[in-house]
Homo-oligomer: A and B are copies of this chain.
Amino acid sequence: MSHGGRTSRRSVLAGASAMLAAAGVPVVAPRAQTGADPLPSWNDGRAKQAILDFVHATTDPSSKDLVDPEDRIATFDQDGTLWIEHPIYVQAVFALDRVHALAPQHPEWRGREPFKSVLAGDMAAVAHFAEPQWLQIVGATHAGMSTERFEAIATAWIATARDHRFNRLYTDLVYQPMREAMDLLHANGFKVYIVTGGGQEFVRTYARRVYGIPPEQVVGSSIAVKYEMRDDGPILMREPRMFFNDDNAGKAIGINLFIGKRPYAAFGNSDGDREMLEWTGAGAGPRLKMLVHHDDAKREYAYGPGGGLPDTHVGRFSNALMTEATARGWNVISMKDDWRRVFAFE
């Protein structure tokens, strides 16, 4: 089963049960029907019930809305949906750290924006960087090396980098309720994808270990690569230009491109996920559309409608998105009310 390295034996076996059931072999006690609460980090409420009802409707053999296991696709945004994204995206922290690491080889950066502000530690300026600045930074830090070299650098970074507020590894700042939702869907025969605006190759370096998601189930933004035959064999050289922007409409396009099936369940948290939820919701039968609303300043952050943080480019949840969510009947998850705990370490 391809769900990944950290998948427990229990969920591997649950996955095997789903397969055997699909092959017509009777299976006893599928996980969703056992007595244990499959979503213990969720408070009882509409959001939790929507997930449970959806799983029951799409997988119970007697359901009129039973979905063929082949078609059970669930997609999750990453930043702000599966893990923390404030005050800036984790991958942006990686890029800024790389600017510092590479600065000795680029003395000219001290006098040239956007590098100058980064090297001066001017985070107020960094917070206002727009796409052109970030493209320059990504070009300088994510390109000009082979895919293997990039993977090694990113893997080493994520193993030790810590969030300042929580003083935790970023990989510890995964939302436990969402891990449970992913596991519940997987255990019920859903193929679970991450569909992220972040870098596909960056997320792939830890997705298996952290989320149990293998590389081929990570769809993300990517830069162009070029095939080069060297003396010791071929490499894929990363080039400083965008190939695919997996955000906004790009999420619906990326889902079609990489998966070729319409999801039955989609989880997001920002305007960048709007088209993914629209595309999911446009399918026939039961479709689960969930949006995380960060309204918990105490345990995490409060931003978006009613939130106290300034509306920077990070994780923007606009009033227009909330209006659309209400109009289309999407489920808005209140981090404060719906999540019994936010992180596994709590």
Contact = CB atoms under 8 A, between A and B. Distances in A.
Given A236-B252, A249-B227, A278-B229, A261 B215 contact: yes
B16 A19 contact: yes
Contact of A9 (B15, B23, B279): B23
Contacts of A234: 252, 275, 278-279, 282
Contacts of A20: 13, 16
A20 to B, nearest CB: 6
B278 A2 contact: no
A259 interface: yes
Interface string A1-41: 11011000100110110011011110000000000000000
A336 interface: no
Given A216-B258, A253-B236, A70 B2 contact: yes
Contact of A16 (B9, B23, B214, B279): B23
A104 interface: no
B204 A225 contact: no
A257 interface: yes
A197 to B, nearest CB: 15
A5 B261 CA distance: 14
Contact of A215 (B15, B201, B260): B260
B218 A260 contact: yes
A108 B147 CA distance: 48
A233 interface: yes
A5 B68 CA distance: 10
Given A236-B252, A275-B234, A278-B234, A260 B216 contact: yes
Interface string A223-237: 001110100011010
A256 interface: yes
A294 interface: no
A142 interface: no
A14 to B, nearest CB: 10
A191 interface: yes
Contacts of A147: 256
Nearest to A251: B227
A222 interface: yes
B15 A19 contact: yes
24 contacts: A1-B23, A2-B70, A4-B70, A9-B23, A16-B16, A19-B19, A147-B256, A200-B260, A201-B260, A214-B261, A215-B259, A215-B260, A216-B258, A216-B260, A216-B261, A222-B257, A225-B257, A226-B249, A227-B275, A227-B279, A229-B278, A234-B252, A234-B282, A236-B253
Closest 4 CB pairs of A and B: A215-B260, A227-B249, A233-B282, A12-B23
